[in-house]
Structure 1
C-alpha cells in the first residue's frame, strides 16, 4: 500500500516554510519600539509603551470582503493587504487610539508562496503607514475548501489611548461642525454591488479602460483604502476633537450616526464635497437614487471629523495640508427625527 501522508492529502508543509521565508523581510520591516521576539514564535509579543497614566487598549478586526475577487481576477494581491490593515486601524484610530501592532490571517486551498508574499508585502506597507508593527499571523492551507488561486484574508489590530482622551459620543455637542475628509475611492465596501453592476450588468472586464476614470476598471477597483492614522493623530494632538466616524459599509447613513448621542442628529449636505467619478458611474449603471448610494458607499468621503464651530476653519485648514476636506454639515438637536438628515 502506498504511503498516504499530509502532502498527498493536499497540504505541503514545505510551501508553508517557503512562504514564511518570503514574508519575513516584510514583517521585520514594520518593527517598532515595543516589539519583542521575532516571526515564527507561538505568539506575538509587544511591550506597552511608557508614559500613560491610565492606558486603555483598543482593538479592531476586519476583513476585505468580496473586493478579494478583484485580486483574484487581476492576480494582483499587494493592495489587498493595505486594505486589510486600513479597515482595522482606521476604526481604532477613530476612538483616539494609536495603533501598536497588527496580526493577519490568510486561509487558502493551496498555499502559493509568491501570492502570500505579495499579500504580506501590502500588509507591511499598510502597517508602516499606520506606524504599527506586524507581530504575528497565520497561514492556513485547507485543500478543497477554496477554489484554486483564491483565499480569505482578515486582520486584527490593537492600539493604545490614555483613558481621559478616549473620543466618545459624550463629547459631541449641538452646533458642532462636521468635516468630511476625502477617500481614495470605493475603499473596501459595497463590492458585491460593484461587481454585479460592473461585470453582470455592464459586462465589463478588469482590463476595460474607462475614460471617465482615465484608468482601467481593475486599477480603479483595486485602489487601496486610505489609512487615516497619521492625520487623526496629528489632529488630536493639536485640537479638541469631539467625534470621528470612519465611513465604511453602510455609507454616511449608517456610520455618521454612530458618533452621535440619542438626542442629536447630523444635518449634512451632499453638494459640498467632491464625489469621485466611480460613484457617478455606479449610480448610472444601477439606476440608483442618492439614498441608495449614501447608504452603501463612502461617496468620496472616508472620514468625518466633528469639532466645535469656533475653530472648525482651523481644523479644516490643517486637514487640507495633506488631504482634500470639506465642511459637509453640522450637529443639531434631535426631536424624534431620523439620526441623519440630508439637505
Structure 2
C-alpha cells in the first residue's frame, strides 16, 4: 500500500502521515511549505515523522507538470488530499491564493488519480460549506448552496469537481467536511493558538460576536482516527440511486461526503474558560462584532460517518485544550 498525503507539513496532514507510517504504510508526503504561517512549525512537524517508509517532496499542487510526473512515477494506491489554502478571513483579502491551491490544485489531484488508476481519493472539505444554513445539526443531506466566504465556495467546488470525476471516470472519492479542528501542533492562525499566545503575553484577545458563538470543536486525534477508518471504506456505484430521492452526499457514482466532527456544539466562552484554567491565567477580553465570513454556530451530524466506520470522538474539550497548552509550553519553551 502506497498513499499520497498532500499538505503533509500541515496540522492534519502531518498527524495522518505519522499515524499511517507507524502502522507500516508507505507514505509520500508533499507540501509547498508556503509562508501563510511560520514555516519552522511546518518543518518541525515533518521532523517528527521519523519512519523509513515516509518520503517528503516539496511540491505545489498548482504545478501541473510536477503533479503529473509525481503520480506517474509513484503509482499511488490511495490519495489523502489535505493541502489547501486555509482560512476564512484570509480568503476575503487574498482570493487568488484560493483559486491556485483549492481549485487548480484540486484539478491536478483529480487528473493524477484519473490517469493512474488511484483506488480511492479522500479529500478535505469543510463545515464552512454550510454557509447561511441555520438548522442544526448540519446534515450532509442539507443544501449547501449559500457559502459566505470564497474559502467555503472553493470547498463546495471541490465536492462538485470530485463528483464529476467519480461519475465520468469511476474514480471513488470521499469528501470529509471538517469541523473546527484543534490540538497540539495546530495552526497559528486558529483561535486556540492565537488566544494562547496573547494570553501568555498579557495581550487582549479579540472575541467576535461579543462571545455569542458556538463551534463543533474536534480534537486532532479524533480527526485522524476518522480519516484512517474512512480510507478503507471505498465508495461503490449505486445503480438504484436517483437525484429526486437521493442525498447530495451520495450518488449513483462512487462518491460520498461525510461530516467529521465532535458531534456537539460548544460555547466559545466555555472553550476560552477551559484555556484560562489550563494556563492558570485570566484572559483580557476585547469583545467585537461578528466578522465577515463568520457563522454563528457549527454543529455536525456525524451519524453517516459513524454508520460506516464506527467513528466516535471521545476527547472532551478540557482535556484537548490542556494537551494543546502542554505542547505549546514545551514547543515554545514557555
Give the structure-1-normalised TM-score. Answer: 0.29
Q: Name whichever structure is richer in strand by fraction.
A: 1
Higher relative contact order (CA closer than 8 Å, sequence separation 6+):
1
Q: Name whichever structure is richer in helix by fraction.
A: 2
Larger radius of gyration: 1
Give the structure-2-normalised TM-score. Answer: 0.29
